[in-house]
């Protein structure tokens, strides 16, 4: 009786568990209630029940009670934690702690899940308590992987150790307070030139060669902008720009500040892989998801890349890639998700969301969780042969040539034309069929974004999207206009109170507008958010001399740079500045 009272007052519980024996009241706990139930069974029941037979001798007696009491008073749960995971893209080696449950141990279970599937898969079981490591061959990991050990005891209870997160191998580097890479575990020679890829991937190479990824190393606009940044911020300006516009130069700590013009840069003795800008290996050596670039008050670069160059392995989105004689190929499904576009396409400076295309996408409810439209779906569409377009179509063009001669112009135009829709209706208000002279004509316009990020996005402070509205009479004369340009190079009338303009404005430390990202201390963002609507009702008094019908035309227009930005950096490109028509609608209103 004294022994029983000790148990009652201590009332020690094992961790909740799905026991196969011993948990008499099936509450997933071992406690005094189970002891009392077992005592009652022994005293008052004649039948045998394996639920009570803890020592498996086909008899339920005092020994089983002692086993149960000892289990309750033990130091359980006897879980084991993963100690290490090593992976060389072929063999997986895992080690874990040995269980301390010498008397109750039955087996270890090793479970695996990854970034794309949170369902635990059982990949190994052993019944030897001393067997605490395993090498598994030909095991394909993903970018982020999770392992845990389940330890099962003789009562059927499985307890789990801590989940072990394992990222695929990547080369690490350290960055000092000025954004300079001061130590790394790779060499510049580890990166292959795009020229090496041309032989087998000729179509991809040709597409990339005309892309803005390649053009960043040939763009006079970029070098002018970089030079301005370096002059104003000599300690940090170069790396602030190259961390995204020339990642290999940034990672290899190669300064481009000695090359103020694109001609000097391209005529230098720098390695080809640096003079190629954002080349093949910048993307196809990525083994892990990066993150938004957060820049401190100093403007020092801080971009994190998870790359694995120099090991003769190229990573990509093709499942079961065909072997070749040049390099190993490794499938990573995250090459098909928007996170692959980090860190470059998400920049926050002093908590100012300066260029946040990824964040705009990620804020769409459920998009990242439930597989919404990815960046690649629009900007790297699948071609007829099943491969993906490597033009990386955006909204920028090489302005050193007339835009109608640019090989990407039609693709950019097609993409923009699918980005929005418009109609003459706001909250049930429509254009009238007829109107009388001197009456007020109300023109309701609804604009709907069909795009998974803001319009404009990226450097939205240098871009403009707007509504051009014209009202013409039957003679072709324009009676009213808003947002109408004389030509592609003229400024909008920013004083027009009816101008519906989509763009952002960076603010410097004095709250003045600036185009310098590194100097941003605030932002006014009037972009059209992803999948949102904007409504505008124009009013116009019909003149008594108007010759009907009135022709109302509304167009949504876009240009990738403001004329002011081009004039400040490369005025010779001004005549090549395009204005794209994204959408247009037209209707007639008769005059009574």
For residues 128-151, b (16+ Cβ closer than 10 Å) or e, as one string? ebeebeeeeeebebbbbbbbbbbb
The length of the chain in residues reads 592
- Asked if residue 500 lies in contact with residue 474, where contact means CB atoms within 8 angstroms, the answer is no
- CA 382 to centroid of chain Cα atoms: 19
Is residue 347 within 8 A of residue 356, CB to CB? The reply is yes
Tens digit of pLDDT at every position of the chain (592 positions) = 334 434 333 444 445 577 777 677 777 777 788 788 778 888 878 788 887 777 777 888 888 787 777 777 775 557 899 999 999 998 999 999 999 888 789 899 999 998 877 789 999 999 999 999 999 998 989 888 999 999 998 877 888 999 999 999 999 999 999 999 998 888 999 999 999 999 999 999 999 999 999 999 999 999 999 999 999 999 999 999 999 999 999 999 999 999 999 999 999 999 999 999 999 999 999 999 899 999 999 999 999 999 999 999 999 999 889 999 999 999 998 899 999 999 999 999 999 999 999 999 999 987 766 668 999 999 999 999 999 999 999 999 999 999 999 999 999 999 999 999 999 999 999 999 999 999 999 999 999 999 999 999 999 999 999 999 999 998 889 999 999 999 999 999 999 999 999 999 999 999 999 999 999 999 999 999 999 999 999 999 999 988 889 999 999 999 999 999 999 999 999 999 999 999 999 999 999 8
Pairwise CA distance, residues 496 & 493, whole Å: 6
State how far the Cα of 460 lies from the Cα of 293, in Å rounded to an integer.
Answer: 17
Name the token pair of 41: 């069974």
Whether 2-72 and 82-167 share one fold: the answer is no
Angle, nearest 10°, between helix axes 32-44 and 62-72? Answer: 180
Q: Tens digits of per-residue pLDDT, 169-197?
A: 999 999 999 999 998 888 999 999 999 99
CA-to-CA dists, residue 103 to 78, 432, 538, angstroms: 11, 87, 83
Contact between residue 177 and residue 300 where contact means Cβ atoms under 8 Å apart: yes
The CB-side HSE value for 508 (13 A sphere, CA atoms) comes to 8
d(CA 117, CA 347): 29
Cβ atoms within 10 Å, residue 320: 7
Q: What DSSP state is assigned to residue 172?
A: -
- Paired with 86 in beta bridges are 93
- Give the CATH number of domain 403-591: 2.60.40.10
- Residues 6 or more apart whose CB falls under 8 angstroms from that of 443 comprise 424, 431, 469, 471, 537, 538, 539, 540, 552, 554
- The span from the CA of 280 to the CA of 213, in Å, is 10
CA–CA separation, 455 and 371 (whole Å):
21
Task: List the Cα angle 405/422/456 in 5-degree steps.
Answer: 55
The conformation of residue 191, written as its DSSP 8-state character, comes to S
In this prediction, residue 75 carries a pLDDT of 56
* 3-class SS string, 99-118: CCCCCCEEEEEEEEEECCEE
Element (H, E) at 415: helix 409-417
CA dihedral 61→67→69→74, nearest 10 degrees, is: 180
If one looks up domain 82-167 in CATH, what number appears? 2.60.40.10
> Domain 2-72 carries which CATH code?
1.10.1330
Given a contact cutoff of 8 angstroms between Cβ atoms, the answer to whether 298 and 234 are in contact is no
In percent, the amount of the chain with pLDDT more than 70 equals 96
For the chain, give every domain's residue range.
Answer: 2-72, 82-167, 187-379, 403-591
Tokens of 242: 């190259």
Contact in structure between 467 and 536 (CB atoms under 8 Å): yes
């Amino acid at each position: 009786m004294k022994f029983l009272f000790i148990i009652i007052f201590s009332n020690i519980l094992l961790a909740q568990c799905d026991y196969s024996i011993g948990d008499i009241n099936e509450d997933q706990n071992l406690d005094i209630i189970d002891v009392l139930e077992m005592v009652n069974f022994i005293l008052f029941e004649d039948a045998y029940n394996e639920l009570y037979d803890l020592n498996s001798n086909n008899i339920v007696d005092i020994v089983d009670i002692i086993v149960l009491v000892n289990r309750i008073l033990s130091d359980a749960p006897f879980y084991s934690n993963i100690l290490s995971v090593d992976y060389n893209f072929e063999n997986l080696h895992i080690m874990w702690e040995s269980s301390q449950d010498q008397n109750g141990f039955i087996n270890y279970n090793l479970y695996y899940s990854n970034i794309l599937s949170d369902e635990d898969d059982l990949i190994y079981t052993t019944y030897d308590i001393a067997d605490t490591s395993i090498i598994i061959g030909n095991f394909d990991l993903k970018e982020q992987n999770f392992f845990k050990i389940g330890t099962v005891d003789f009562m059927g209870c499985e307890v789990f150790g801590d989940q072990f997160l394992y990222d695929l191998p990547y080369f690490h580097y350290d960055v000092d307070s000025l954004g300079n890479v001061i130590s790394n575990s790779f060499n510049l020679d580890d990166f292959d030139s795009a020229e090496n890829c041309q032989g087998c991937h000729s179509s991809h190479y040709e597409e990339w060669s005309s892309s803005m990824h390649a053009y960043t190393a040939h763009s006079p606009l970029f070098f002018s902008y970089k030079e301005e940044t370096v002059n104003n911020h000599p300690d940090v300006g170069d790396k602030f720009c190259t961390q995204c516009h020339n990642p290999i130069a940034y990672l290899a700590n190669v300064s481009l500040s000695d090359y103020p013009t694109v001609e000097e840069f391209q005529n230098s003795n720098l390695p080809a892989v640096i003079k190629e800008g954002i080349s093949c290996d910048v993307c196809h050596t990525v083994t892990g998801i990066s993150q938004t670039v957060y820049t401190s008050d100093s403007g020092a670069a801080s971009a994190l890349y998870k790359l694995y160059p120099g090991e003769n392995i190229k990573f990509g989105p093709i499942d079961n890639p065909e072997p070749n004689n040049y390099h190993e190929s490794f499938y990573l499904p995250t090459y098909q998700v928007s996170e692959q576009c980090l860190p470059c396409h998400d920049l926050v400076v002093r908590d100012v969301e300066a260029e946040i295309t990824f964040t705009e996408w990620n804020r769409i409810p459920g998009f990242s969780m439930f597989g919404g439209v990815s960046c690649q779906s629009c900007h790297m569409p699948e071609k007829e042969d099943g491969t993906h377009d490597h033009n990386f179509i955006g909204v920028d063009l090489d302005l050193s040539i007339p835009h109608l001669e640019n090989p990407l112009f039609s693709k950019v135009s097609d993409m923009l034309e699918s980005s929005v829709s418009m109609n003459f209706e706001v909250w049930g208000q429509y254009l009238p069929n007829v109107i009388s002279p001197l009456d007020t004509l109300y023109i309701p316009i609804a604009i709907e974004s069909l795009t998974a990020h803001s319009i404009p996005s990226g450097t939205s402070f240098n871009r403009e999207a707007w509504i051009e509205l014209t009202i013409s009479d039957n003679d072709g004369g324009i009676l009213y206009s808003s947002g109408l340009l004389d030509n592609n190079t003229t400024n909008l009338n920013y004083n027009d109170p009816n101008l519906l303009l989509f763009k952002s404005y960076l603010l410097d430390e004095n709250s003045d507008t600036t185009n310098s990202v590194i100097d941003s201390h605030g932002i006014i963002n009037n972009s059209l958010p992803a999948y949102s609507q904007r409504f505008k009702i124009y009013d116009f008094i019909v003149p008594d001399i108007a010759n009907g019908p009135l022709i109302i035309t509304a167009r949504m227009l876009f240009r990738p740079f403001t004329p002011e930005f081009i004039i400040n950096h490369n005025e010779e490109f001004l005549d090549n500045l395009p204005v794209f028509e994204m959408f247009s609608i037209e209707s007639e209103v008769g005059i009574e």
